[in-house]
Amino acid sequence: MTDRNQTLFERAQRVIPGGVNSPVRAFRAVGGTPRFIARAQGPYMWDAEGQRYIDYIGSWGPMILGHGHPAVLEAVQKAALEGFSFGAPTEREIELAEAIIALVPSIEQVRLVSSGTEAGMSAIRLARGATGRSKIIKFEGCYHGHADALLVKAGSGLATFGHPTSAGVPAEVVQHTLVLEYNNLAQIEAAFAAHGADIACVMIEPIAGNMNFVRAQVPFVKRIHELCKQHGALFVFDEVMTGFRVALGSAQSVYAKAIPGFAPDISVFGKVIGGGMPLAAFGTTREIMKHLAPLGPVYQAGTLSGNPVATACGLATLKEIAKPGFYEALAAKTQSLVSGLTQAAQAAGIPFCGDSEGGMFGFFFFDSLPQHYNAVMATDKERFNRFFHGMLDRGVYLAPALYEAGFVSAAHTEADIAATVAAAAEAFADLSKACA
C-alpha cells in the first residue's frame, strides 16, 4: 500500500523547492517523510493517511487556544463574509492595536504587518532611523526572520562582525551586524566599549525558541538594558514567539518582575496575535514611532497589513487568552508535560533536561540546560532524532528539529499529557536499549 504522505511529498518536490514552503517542514533535520496535514481540531492534527497526532507545534506557536476554537471560528467567518481585503483602514485594526497596547505597558503605538520577518526588519529600520546609527547587535542562535541583515553568524573574535549564512546576502549587507554569544556578559560589555556610539539597537529573543528553549538570564537582560540606556541604543525584544505565549504581558512582563523599571524600547510580535492568520506587529513609544511613515522618513508599507480577516482572528484570540486563570492553567499543563517527560527519561536512564514558561517548552538530551548556541549544538542530536520518530510513530507530533521549541495549547487535556508521557516512556525505553 502506498503512503499518501510519501506520494504527496514526491509530487510537492516537483513543483516546490524541497517540497515545502518553509525549510524545517522538510524533515531534513530528523530524516524521513514529512506528514502532510489534512485537518486539525483542538490539540490534534490528522495527516493525509488519516493518522491522528497530539500536536505540540501548534503552527509554531499561534494556536494557543488549539485548532478551531469556536469563538475564533465565529469571528473569522463573520469577517470573511464582510470582505477579505480592502487596502483601506478598518475599525478592527484600531481594536487590535488597542488590545495589544492595553496588555503591554511598554507600547504606546503599534504598526500591523503580515509576518514576523516583516515586523523584525521594520523594527531594525525604525531603530536605525530613530538613532541615526547603522550598527546592530544580535545573538547567535536567535532567529529574527530572513531579512538580509539578520542572516548572519558570529565571526571568530570576541565581538567581531558576522558573515552571511545564506547565499544571496552580500557581505557588505551584514557588515554592520555584530553577532555575540547569548548570555555572555563579557561580550556585550566589549561590544559597547568598542562600538557604543555607533550601535542603533540590540535585538534579542528573550526566550530563544530557535535553539530549542534557552532563556536569557536576568543579569544579562538587565545589563543590556543598562548599556543601551547609557549609550543611546534601543533594546529590541523579539517576541514573535514569546509574545502572549509565555504570559499575558509577554516575556517582557516576566523580566519586568525580576528587573525593577525594565521595559524594552521596541517590541516585535507575531504568531499568537494573529491566532494562526498571517499577522504580526512592532510597537514602541509615540516618540520613536513618529519617525515612521507617514509621520517620518522611515518607510514601511504593506498591501495586506491589518487584513480584516486576520485582525478578526487575532482579536478573538486575545479576548480568550485574557480571561482570568487562562495562563495559570496553561502553564500548569506545560509544566506537567515537561515534568512527566523528565521523569520518564530518568526512569530509562537517559540524560535529559527540560524547561518551560507559560505555554512554551523545550528539552534537551543533556544533563543541564544549555545557555547559548554552542552548548545547544553539543547536545545529542542523533538521540533526539530517534526520539522524534519514536514519538511520531506513537501519534505525538513534536517539532521536527532539535533546535525548535514546543507549544502546549489550552485545548490539551490531562489525558493528552498522560498519553504523551506514556508514549515517551516507551520511546525512552527503546533509546535505552539501542544505547546499551
Active site residues: 143, 238, 271
Three cell numbers, residue 115: 509576518
Write the single-letter amino acid at 91.
E
Q: Cell 525593577, residue?
A: 260
E strands, 86-139, where? 109-113, 135-139
Q: Cell 492534527, residue?
A: 45
Integer Cα distance of 212 and 434 in angstroms: 24
Angle between helices 308-321 and 91-103 (to 10 degrees): 30
Write the single-letter amino acid at 80.
A
**What element of type H or E holds 164?**
strand 163-164
Q: Are 401 and 30 in contact (CB under 8 A)?
A: yes
Q: Cell 549544538, residue?
A: 377
Q: Which 8-state DSSP code applies to residue 24?
A: G
- From residue 240, give the alpha-carbon distance in Å to each of 61, 116, 199, 402, 418: 9, 6, 23, 19, 29
**What element of type H or E holds 239?**
strand 234-239
Three cell numbers, residue 70: 469556536
Residue 173 main-chain phi, psi, to 5 deg: -70, -35
Q: Are 120 and 243 in contact (CB under 8 A)?
A: no
Integer Cα distance of 359 and 414 in angstroms: 14
Three cell numbers, residue 35: 506528514
Q: Classify 249 as helix, strand or coil.
A: coil
Integer Cα distance of 384 and 404 in angstroms: 12
Integer Cα distance of 87 and 40 in angstroms: 31
How many of the other CB atoms lie within 10 Å of CB of 17?
10
